[in-house]
Amino acid sequence: MRFITLRLKSILVAAALVLLVAAGALTATAAGAQEVYFGSSRSLPIYCVEREGGKVALTFDCAWGVDSTDAILTTLKESKVRVTFFAVEFWAEKYPEYLKRIFEEGHEVGTHSATHPYMSRLTEGEIKKELETSSAAIEKIIGKRPDLFRPPYGDYDDLVIDTAEAMGLYSIQWDVDSLDWKDLSASEISSRVVGRVKSGSIILMHNNGLHTAEALPVVIDTLRANGFEFVPVGELIYRENYAIDPTGRQIPKNAA
C-alpha cells in the first residue's frame, strides 16, 4: 500500500516536472567537468556521451547497505528500465543475493573498487589489486566479469584511468548528480535530475539513498514524457573509435 501511495504521488509530481522541463529547464552541461578540465591533456573518464535520440543512463552506486534496494528494483522492473549498478567488493560479498537479483533482472554490473578508497592516493599495484579483486568477486557471484569501473568519490588521476583502461575497463563518471547521498527530499532529487539531463547523460544515484526510491518513479516518468530513453551505460558509450573531449564527453572519432 505504501508503494502504491508513493507511486500515485510520483505521478502528480512528474506531471508538474514535465511542465517545468518543457518550459526550458532541460539545459544541462557536464557538471563541473568543463570548469576543471577544459584545456587539459589529462586522461579522463567518461562523464557523458555525444548521442542523439535522447538516450540516457541511470546508474546506482552500491556500497553501504540495501534498505532501499528492493523498492528501487521494483520500480525498475515495473517501469521496464534497465540500469547500471556499480558494486564495491565488500558490498557484493555481503549481499550476493542482491547482486544476483540485479543481474538476473537484466541490469548491468560494474565495479566500484574493492575497498572504496580514494584511488588517486594509491600506487599502480594497489590500483590493480582494487580492480582485479573486485572484478573477480563480481564475476564469481554473477558469472560475468565487469568491464565498467566507477572510481569511489569520483576521485581519479591519470594513473587510475590509464591503469583501468589497460585492464580492459571503461572508467565512468557522471554529468548529472542527484545528490541523493545528501539525503535531499524526493522532490529535490527529482528536480535536480530532470532539470540537468540531456541526451547522452549519465545520472548518479545510490542504492541506499534515503529518498532515492521515492524519487525514482518521478525521474523515470518525467524523463520518458519528455522523450528520453533509458539504457545501461554499456549500451550508451562507444566501445571503439572514440575520443573524450576536455569536458569528459565521449565522442565518436568521426565527429571529434
What type of residue is 185? S
Q: How far, in Å, CA of 136 to CA of 110, rounded?
A: 11
Whether 61 is a known active-site residue: answer: yes
Q: How far apart are CA 97 and CA 99, in angstroms?
A: 6
Whether the CB-CB separation of 62 and 88 falls below 8 Å is answered with yes
**Alpha-carbon span 49 to 199, nearest angstrom:** 8
- Cβ within 8 Å of residue 206, ≥6 positions away: 60, 61, 62, 63, 64, 180, 181, 212
Q: Is residue 112 annotated as part of the catalytic site, yes or no? A: no
Catalytic residue, from 107, 112, 116, 206: name it: 206
Active site residues: 61, 206
